Structure 1
Amino acid sequence: MQLVVGRIGRAHGIKGDVTVEVRTDEPELRLGPGAVLATDPAATGPLTIESGRVHSGRLLLHFEGVNDRTGAEALRNTLLIAEVDPQEVPEDPEEFYDHQLVDLDVVTVDGTQVGRIKEIAHLPGHDLLIVTTPDDREVMVPFVAEIVPEIDLAEQRAVIDPPPGLLAEPAEDDGENGAAGKTEDGGK
């Protein structure tokens, strides 16, 4: 199974280093020296990580054969893809790989069907479960214990306890109040 574990950003310096937007909870495992990664677009890979370091809070990687800024710039926006054994699971029972969560049914604590997990968005503060509802809406559910108290892989479902408004359908905009919240005198 293939997982996107990062996206190459800007070149850093003149020796071929690149910044990387990390898209994995295990960067030390997936993005460590010696890791061989497939790429999207495929024409740029596979890439082998020669070295890596953190600089000013950003991960910098150096790939074998990329030894100047021009080569590094050519890799910008390339997705880094790791091959992962589908049977592999994290050591912590409270952690999950994206592929374990995608396609799980989502139900509320009272059993109401919400939809299916389409993807996981990794944000700096916490992850979001992107859930597609039966009427093809997307709902973003913060993947925190207070809102997602149970992941049952055996039953292939995620149980959520949504706060008020999380699952509400978006309000219809009738177009008449395009400047909602402003007064006629410009909001003064």
Structure 2
Amino acid sequence: MAVGKITRPHGLKGEVRVLPFLSNRELLKELPRFFLQKEGEEILIPISVREAPGGRDFLFRFEGIEDVEIAEGLRGRVLYAEVSDFPELEEGEFYYFQIEDLPVKTEAGEILGRVKGVMPVGPYDLLEVETKEGQSFYLPMVEEVILEINLDEGYVLVRPTPGLIESQI
């Protein structure tokens, strides 16, 4: 599962900036290893992880990445982790990958599309929904809009504000 993206080197000693893809950004600090491909052999073992200035990204040092030239070669690469490396969640919590492809429906039962993904942006994340026509629109992941995420029955119940979807499609 994709958990972040290496955006650029930081400093001269091999440290890199990583933009997290996870809603619980702190989870990146707990993962014991990362992969550079979904099912690849290239494994990165973190030596240190700390929050970057500005609070959006993390700064990683990996085993074997000792200078800026090697770190530069990682620019733009996506970091993957195995789901089995993730900690157990509390009741009612979920990982974003668990809601991918779930149908998104309104209180009236209208199917708006399927969850394509979640984008962490600013004060709240955006739920990306893809319609059956292949168009995407975004819903803010706030409790006024996202009413329920039911993993057992497999759906996301929403109450979009009037005009929100139409303004995007």
TM-score normalised by the chain length of structure 2: 0.86
1:126 equivalent to 2:124? Answer yes
Listed one character per residue, the Cα deviations across residues 153-174 of structure 1 (whole Å, up to 9, x for unaligned) are: 1211111001011222668xxx
Q: Deviations over 1:24-79 (max 9, x none)?
A: 133433334x7211114888921110111223134111000001111111111111
Q: Which is higher, the Rg of structure 1 or of structure 2?
A: 1
The question of 1:47 aligning with 2:53 is answered no
Residue 117 of structure 1, aligned match among 100, 103, 115: 115
1:117/1:129 contact within 8 Å kept: yes
Q: Hey, what does 2:154 align to over in structure 1? A: 156
State how far apart, in whole Å, the 1-side matches of 2:13 and 2:137 are: 43
- Which ranges of structure 1 fall in alignment gaps of 5 or more residues? 172-188
Which segment drifts farther, 70-79 or 161-170?
A: 161-170
Relative distance call for 1:110 and 1:87 in structure 2 (3 A) is farther
Q: Contact 1:121 / 1:129 at 8 angstroms: preserved in 2? A: yes
Match of 1:80 in 2: 79
What is the identity, as a one-letter code, of the residue corresponding to 2:34? L
Measure, in 2, the Cα distance between the counterparts of 1:88 and 1:35.
Answer: 11
1:20 paired to 2:3: no
Q: Which residue of 2 aligns with 1:56?
A: 53
Greater CA deviation, 136-145 or 41-50? Answer: 41-50
Give the secondary-structure state (helix, strand or coil) at the position aligned to 2:36.
strand
Percent of pairs with identical residues: 35
SS of residue paired to 1:141: strand
Matched, 1:37 2:28: no
2:65 matched residue in structure 1:
66
Count of matched residue pairs? 167
On the 8 A contact 1:44/1:75 being kept in 2, the answer is no
TM-score, length of structure 1 as denominator length:
0.78
Partner of residue 108, structure 1: 106
Bigger drift between 71-80 and 49-58 goes to 49-58
Deviations 1:62-108 (A, max 9, x none): 00000111111111111110101399752251x32112111111110
Distance 2:104 2:51 in 1: 37
User: 8 Å contact 1:89–1:96 — kept in the other structure?
Assistant: no
Structure 2 unaligned segments of length 5 or more: list them. none
Q: Does the Cα contact within 8 Å between 2:14 and 2:67 map onto a contact in 1?
A: yes
Larger mean CA deviation between 130-139 and 157-166 belongs to: 130-139
RMSD: 2.5
